[in-house]
Amino acid sequence: MAASGFEGFEKRLELHFFGDDPASGLSLSHHGLRLLDSGSLEDVLHAVQCTIVSAVGNQYFDSYVLSESSLFIYPTKIIIKTCGTTQLLKSVRPLIVLARTLGLSLGSCRYTRGSFIFPEAQPFPHTSFKDEVVYLEESLPSSLCFRKASIMHSKVGSHSWHVFTACDATAEMAVRPVPDDLFTIEVCMTELDRAQARKFFQSPGRVGKFTGDSAGRAMTALTGIDQINPAALICDFAFEPCGYSMNGIDGDRYSTIHVTPEDGFSYASYECVGSVYDDLNDVIRVLRKVGQIFRPGTMSVSITCPSADSWTWVARALEPLGLKRRSCNMDEFPEAGTVVFQTFTMTTARRETLDEGIDPHEDVKQLGCAPWY
């Protein structure tokens, strides 16, 4: 393990708002939070310590790739996910103020993250989960009275799941973090397969010769990320000399991937939203494809869902890849659904099988990626 490096594990914040006048509430035909101007967004992101590098939107929401992860803005919902040493929670207060200028009030808040690889490098208020919870408690309006903070541990010491939720008991059902038919999947992967991770490097001779957008498109195609959901519109970006981010848009649903490929602290994440009405085989195929692309040594899957019934398929998706489930924990959050947190590790036999016959430079030459040894 490297003594220091870039922190891949993201912090994730999801805020739901509702209109002060329910009779004239915001539907998909209204822009709501999407009316926030670029200057206001930049001010919020400046406080967080990140910037916008690419953007795309459709009739449902706007998607932004950030210098450290992603931002999604719906008419009444904002999701911000940032990595590194960003100060994500410093966005809470300004976002609440900006929403008020649009006639919107905060109805619920959900904050999640994994266990930092380099916790000592995190600035306040991310110095500890206790500090984060105190900061959130002080930032949120008192109307969000249903609150709970929990650390979900696992048998894999490097992977734990931190969750804080707060809900307004009087808010409409539409602003609850987990509608009855939706679930959110958050995947964290460490110890990425070296051959796969190498595809997210640019060779020294080509750094500066490609835009982040063009290099990102090449990485998306080379790795098969574009096949996770072929129907999605992808906004991707490659960083120099290494690293990758992607936001996918498919109707009113988003997906996102972020990769920190450096050896010693390699990390990748995948996140998407699904419905209980989706074909389960499609959901299994998506998660299995993610596992195949990165071949992680350790993988955690957190599902936030209306009930605890939506988790049993995860092992079916990953165990054929040689990822053995090590732990499974569940916790209920008042008015915010159930969180199911599972961890998996690659069996030694399967890792050796994957390594056999792999040309360490296979496919890498196509993109001009630089092996690190």
Binding residues: 6, 68, 239, 262
Distance CA 311, CA 154 (A): 16
Residue 122: is it exposed, middle or buried by C-beta count within 10 angstroms (0-12/13-18/19+)?
A: buried
Locate 34 and state its tokens: 């999407």
Distance CA 305, CA 338 (A): 5
* Amino acid at site 191: E
Q: Is 221 helix (H, G, I), strand (E, B) or coil?
A: helix
Catalytic residue annotation: 69, 83, 245, 258
C-alpha count within 13 angstroms, C-beta hemisphere, residue 232: 24
Distance CA 258, CA 261 (A): 10
* Amino acid at site 373: Y
Residue 235 near residue 247, CB atoms below 8 Å: yes
CA distances from 313 to 139, 146, 336 (A): 37, 30, 22
DSSP 123-140: PTTTT-HHHHHHHHHHHS
Closest CA to 318 of 271, 361, 270, 285: 285
Residue with tokens 């998660």: 287
List, in sequence order, every beta strand (DSSP E) within 114-179.
146-152, 161-167
Binding residues for substrate: 6, 68, 239, 262
Locate 109 and state its tokens: 């808040």
